[in-house]
Amino acid sequence: MSLLQSLKARDRVFDFMAPDASPVDVRHGPILYMEDVTVSFDGFKAINNLNLTIDDGELRCIIGPNGAGKTTMMDIITGKTRPTEGSVWFGSRHNLLHMNEPEIASLGIGRKFQKPTVFEALSVFENLELAMATDKRILPTLTARMTGEIKDRIDEVLQTIGLVPLRYQPAGILSHGQKQWLEIGMLLMQRPRLLLVDEPVAGMTEQEMERTAELLTGLAGKQSVVVVEHDMGFVRSIARKVTVLHQGSVLAEGSMDQVSSDPNVVEVYLGADDEEAA
């Protein structure tokens, strides 16, 4: 489109101002590649030569003892931490190491933190509104108005996460489990291609855990979901494919049964159990 034409087209932003929202290229299969990634903090290697591939639409669980580098791995994918070595690609077009956090987020990678962080002073509805995938620059945000379309989208997500009755409540009064769901809801508002979920069921009751399992399995297929979790029962209930991290690199990968019979994994976990017992 020529500049003149683009200037005339009042209903859309100019090409040169539009954010680079080119679709993620997953024709070659995987949505996320991590290759030979290493991160060291003052010589301590939190991630050591890690290789990981996530397919489009996959639900993957990542387990591993404390200090295995799970959170650091998520930090790398979301741009919070820069690896010392290695490469990270989103689809086959986007090099995540060349992008900052908001760029990565707008590309379609959503992250749920270990500790639920929602905006406590804002209502549930507003939390979802802010998370929605729209033009997130200053002026559009300042002049943004509520439309029926946006409302419908928010209502839809409210349904999914089961918080319809609490929509106008400040998020601060939600229970722990409700906050976790709200956070997942906020991720859904971004229409992410890849969801990173860090310990979604920590501190949840049995019922809440069940609902969360339903929620996550329901999402897979539409989105790729990576779940980091300690709770083996929960992992078993949702996982199709499991990756075991240990000391910053992949120790085993496969179905839950395969993994749990792997002697290396058993040793690592038994060792960890010993430590915990001591």
First to last CA, the chain: 68
The answer to whether residue 170 forms part of the interface with another protein (CB under 8 A) is yes
Angle, CA 220 vertex, CA 51 and CA 118 arms, to 5°: 90
Which of residues 34, 50, 62, 186 is near another protein by CB under 8 A? 186
Side chain identity at residue 166, one-letter code: L
Pick from 233, 260, 265: nearest CA to 246: 265
Q: Of the two residues 4 and 138, which places its CB atom closer to another protein in the complex?
A: 138
Residue 114 corresponds to which tokens in the numbers above? 């270990």
Distance CA 119, CA 127 (A): 6
Q: Which of 14, 84, 156, 172 binds another protein (CB under 8 A)?
A: 172
One symbol per residue from 3 to 42: x for binding another protein (CB under 8 A), - otherwise; what is it?
A: --------------------------------------xx
Residue 198: phi and psi, rounded to 5, are -100, 115
Judged by beta carbon, residue 49 or residue 81, the one nearer another protein is 81
Identified binder of another protein from the candidate list 51, 84, 87, 141, rule CB under 8 A: 141
Least distance CB 153 / another protein (angstroms):
13
Query: Rounded to an integer, what distance in angstroms lies between the CA atom of residue 32 and that of residue 224?
Result: 9
Q: Which long-range contacts (CB under 8 A, 24 or more apart) does 262-269 make?
A: 268/65, 268/244, 269/65
Cβ proximity of 142 and 99 under 8 Å: no
Rounded to a whole number of angstroms, the minimum distance from the CB of residue 263 to another protein is: 31
- Asked whether position 156 contacts another protein by CB under 8 A, the answer is no
Provide φ and ψ at 5, rounded to 5°: -60, -45
- Contact track, another protein, 79-118, x by CB under 8 A: -x--------------------xx--xx---xx-x---xx
Please state the closest distance from residue 150 (CB atom) to another protein, in A: 9
List of residues contacting another protein (CB under 8 A): 41-42, 44, 78, 80, 101-102, 105-106, 110-111, 113, 117-123, 125-126, 129-131, 133, 136-138, 141-147, 168-170, 172-173, 186, 190
